[in-house]
Amino acid sequence: MPHETWSGAATPTVEPRPPHLLYLMNDFVVQEHVCNLRCSYCLNFENVNLKDGAPWVPMERIDLNTGSYGWQRARQMLARCRELGDAPILRFAGGEIMAVHGSLAFIEEEAEHWDRVQVLTNATFLERDIERLRKIPSLNLCCSVDGHTAELNEMRTPNRTWAQRIINGMLAAIDAGVPVEVYTVLTQHNAPALYEFADWLLGVRRTADVRLFPFPVRGDVGHKQRPTREQYAALARVIEDYDRLSPILPPKGFLLRLYDFCMNEVRRFRCRVPLSFQQTFDDGVVASCSNCWASPLGNLLEDEHTFDQVGRANIHKLFLQDPPRFAFCKTCFTPFDVVNTYLDGLCTLDEMASLNLYSSPAARQRLQMMREAWSDGSAQALWS
């Protein structure tokens, strides 16, 4: 019997993997109109360019209960984000994410796919949910709290019982040993008490990282509520006492830049938030900036090329000008600016890594990569 000859099997065609967008955080927004508070400075009021709808009026009845349509769609959206991009940090936001049914189980499920998971919350549900949340090893909580008394939180809610619930929720998270970032919106109402709040927070017993991030009220409402120059004296005092307060503060470079912004009432330094943070929504929409709900870049569930617009879309060419020229950008400063502080060499990688949210090896590596890529003023997205 003659030997069979093998001519060789056809080499299977392997489709090249599409380039991955490399960024720092996926800022995932779930049902932005669903919230149990009615903060007076909520930017939902100014959400007219990104989507239709009215503030706090849900456009659809969606939950995250396992197996539901909302659960399936949100899972699909985050899977698409992982397929087409890479970020070490996932943040859940709203509205109020904890007010969405099924959110706890969904957060637990998604946490397995990301290096660090942050939950942005008004803290009103934390006394109820903290025992379950604390079991997520990668968890970081971001609590929106405007001061250490119910009165100082009046712009969030005039109801003193609910205002105290905000404070108690934050304290429950700290007491549970969960890392917490405290977002404090500075208005004429609470700015004068910022130093007292920082001093009070320093005295709270904690076993995990706790950091206070003050920033001025933004948007159209800011014209009415923004603190006066004299009221920022409390911020100056925080900076003067930085050495003592540093365990609960962000890097000093962030606070110095914040103070410069508050005194001059205009942003004079560049921003790389549109390249570093991608704000995605559970319905597939990708915003052009996490801080400004302007025209969207597209819908990732409908078009896989939406991420291709990062750094290239006309709206990004406006956002990334140095110095900023877009009207909203010139009046914007947020806690995300701590990353801009690092990118501009005003704090070290070790200072950034002292913040729990940015402390993982993957986050450190991504931060370093971005700083090297944009050190020459470049405003191009990073791709694998």
What CATH code is carried by the domain that includes residue 124? 3.20.20.70
The token pair at 224 is 């009415």
Distance of CA 96 to CAs 161, 162, 203, 355, Å? 18, 14, 28, 24
Give the E-state strand segments of the chain in sequence order: 21-22, 25-29, 85-86, 89-93, 116-121, 139-144, 180-186, 210-216, 277-281, 285-286, 298-299, 382-383
Q: Is 152 exposed, middle or buried (0-12, 13-18, 19+ CB in 10 A)?
A: buried
Residue 13 belongs to some domain of the structure: no
Quick check: is 174 in a domain? yes
**16 vs 234, more confident:** 234
Instruction: State residue 5's pLDDT score.
Output: 36
> Residue 2: its pLDDT value, please?
39
Closest CA to 173 of 197, 142, 150: 142
**What is the rounded distance in angstroms from the CA atom of residue 351 to the CA atom of residue 230?**
30
Residue 16 lies in a domain: no
Residue 278 domain-assigned (yes or no): yes
Flag whether pLDDT at 227 surpasses 60. yes
Whether pLDDT at 1 is above 50 = no
Name which of 323, 283, 378, 370 is nearest 62 in CA terms: 283
The length of the chain in residues reads 384
Q: How high is the pLDDT of residue 45?
A: 61
For 300-309, what is the mean pLDDT?
95
Say if residue 354's pLDDT is above 80: yes
Q: Report how far residue 157's alpha carbon sits from residue 150's, in angstroms, rounded to the nearest whole number.
A: 9
The amino acid present at 234, given as its one-letter code, is A
Encoding tokens for residue 243? 């050495």
Identify the band that residue 60 occupies on the pLDDT scale cut at 50, 70 and 90.
confident
Number of CB atoms found within 10 A of residue 162's CB = 16
pLDDT on residue 218: 87
Tell me whether residue 298 is in a domain: yes
Q: How far is CA 297 from CA 188, 192, 211, 302, 308, in A?
A: 35, 39, 32, 12, 9
* Residue 341 within a domain: no
Q: What is the CA radius of gyration of the chain?
A: 22
- Is 354 within the bounds of a domain? no
Tokens for 335, please give them. Answer: 């806690």
Please give the average per-residue pLDDT across 89-107, as a whole number: 97
119 Rama sector, left if φ>0, alpha if ψ -120 to 50, beta otherwise: beta
Nearest Cα to Cα of residue 240 among 268, 190, 198, 187: 198
This prediction has a pTM of 0.93
Number of folded domains that form the chain: 1
Residue range 12-23, pLDDT digits in tens: 554 555 679 999
Inform me whether the pLDDT recorded for 10 exceeds 60. Answer: no
Domain assignment of residue 172, given as a range: 21-335
Q: What is the dihedral of CA 144, 148, 152, 156, to 10 degrees?
A: 20
- How many C-beta atoms surround the C-beta of residue 246 within 10 A? 14
What are residue 215's phi and psi, to 5 degrees? Answer: -160, 150
Nearest CA among 285, 288, 337, 344 for reference residue 313: 288
Q: How confident is the model at residue 61 (pLDDT cuts 50, 70, 90)?
A: confident
What confidence tens digit (pLDDT) does each residue in 251-264 have? Answer: 999 999 999 999 99
Residue 81 domain flag: yes
- Give the Å distances, CA to CA, from 352 to 70, 349, 356, 359, 367: 35, 5, 9, 7, 9
CA dist 365 and 384 (Å) reads 14
For 194-313, where are the alpha helices, taking DSSP H only? 194-202, 222-225, 233-240, 242-245, 252-264, 273-276
Task: Report pLDDT for 294.
Answer: 81
How many Å is the maximal CA-CA distance in the chain?
A: 100
Mean of per-residue pLDDT scores for the chain: 92
Q: Quote helix, strand, coil % in the chain, to nearest 5.
A: 40, 15, 45
Name which of 136, 212, 124, 117 is nearest 163 in CA terms.
124
